[in-house]
């Protein structure tokens, strides 16, 4: 007979993922152990193994949930019946807000994806490719002439993603610049350029 899950199973699993993300973000996945994860959760190692069969499974769930949540929100924004520049601004704002609110998960994605088995890395890559594709479509709408050469489409999209992704190696949302202001400045900088640009309102 299979074991019946407790009513709070999912809540406890999410707590483990949250605590593990904080641990991996500060110590690094390679240096942390399942005993460390258990200590961070105030639980026994066997309790953690009730939810996850390995440390790599914990890592995968942290990463895949983070990027799925981001992908779902950005997909919704990309399909809205509003001008492309407005969707672009909302796209960047959502990306910044999600990364700021889930900074530990974001850092784990950036720094520790290399520890995932190849088949699981491919699942993450598939979602990342979808995000790039959505952004390319937006940029094509905003400036179809600039995006006509196939060879420049991915580089333009990756320039923006690189700017946003690596920002969170140093940026924290409680600093002088709010996530909303940061997103506005990034959108403005990317679309209007720097030298001849005036600050966004």
User: Would you list the domain boundaries of the chain?
Assistant: 54-192
- pTM for the model: 0.87
The residues near 41 (Cβ < 8 Å, ≥ 6 apart) are 15, 16, 19, 20, 47, 48
pLDDT band, residue 10 (cuts 50/70/90): confident
Please name which of 181, 139, 145 lies closest in space to residue 159, comparing C-alpha atoms.
139
Q: Report the C-alpha gap between 133 and 4 in whole angstroms.
A: 41
Tokens at residue 161, please? Answer: 């993603």
12-61, pLDDT tens digit by residue? Answer: 999 999 999 999 999 999 999 999 999 999 999 999 999 999 999 999 99
pLDDT of 1 reads 42
CATH dotted code for 54-192 = 1.10.357.10
- pLDDT at 172 (0 to 100): 86
Residue 168 — very low, low, confident or very high, per pLDDT cuts 50/70/90?
confident
Cα–Cα distances in angstroms (integers) from residue 81 to residues 85, 89, 90, 131, 194, in the given order: 12, 14, 13, 19, 29
Element (H, E) at 167: helix 150-167
CB atoms closer than 10 angstroms to residue 163: 13
Q: Which residues contact 195 (CB under 8 A, 6 or more apart)?
A: none
pLDDT class for 86, splitting at 50, 70, 90?
very high
pLDDT beyond 70 at 132: yes
Give exposure, 174-185, as e/b (b: 16+ Cβ within 10 Å).
Answer: eeeeebeebbbb
Across the range 169-194, mean pLDDT stands at 90
SS3 63: helix
């Amino acid at each position: 007979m299979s074991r019946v899950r407790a009513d709070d199973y999912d809540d406890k699993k999410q707590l483990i993922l949250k605590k593990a993300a904080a641990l991996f973000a500060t110590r690094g996945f390679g240096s942390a152990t399942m005993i460390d994860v258990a200590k961070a959760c105030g639980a026994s190692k066997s309790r953690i193994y009730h939810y996850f069969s390995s440390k790599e499974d914990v890592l995968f769930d942290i990463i895949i949930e983070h990027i799925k949540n981001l992908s779902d929100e950005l997909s919704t924004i990309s399909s809205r019946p509003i001008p492309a520049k407005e969707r672009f601004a909302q796209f960047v704002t959502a990306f910044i807000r999600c990364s700021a609110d889930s900074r530990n998960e974001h850092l784990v994605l950036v720094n520790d994806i290399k520890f995932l088995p190849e088949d699981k890395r491919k699942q993450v890559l598939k979602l990342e490719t979808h995000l790039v594709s959505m952004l390319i479509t937006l940029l094509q709408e905003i400036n179809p002439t600039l995006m006509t050469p196939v060879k420049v489409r991915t580089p333009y999209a990756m320039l923006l993603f690189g700017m946003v992704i690596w920002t969170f190696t140093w940026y924290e949302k409680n600093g002088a610049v709010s996530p909303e202001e940061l997103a506005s400045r990034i959108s403005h900088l990317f679309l209007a350029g720097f030298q001849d640009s005036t600050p966004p309102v």
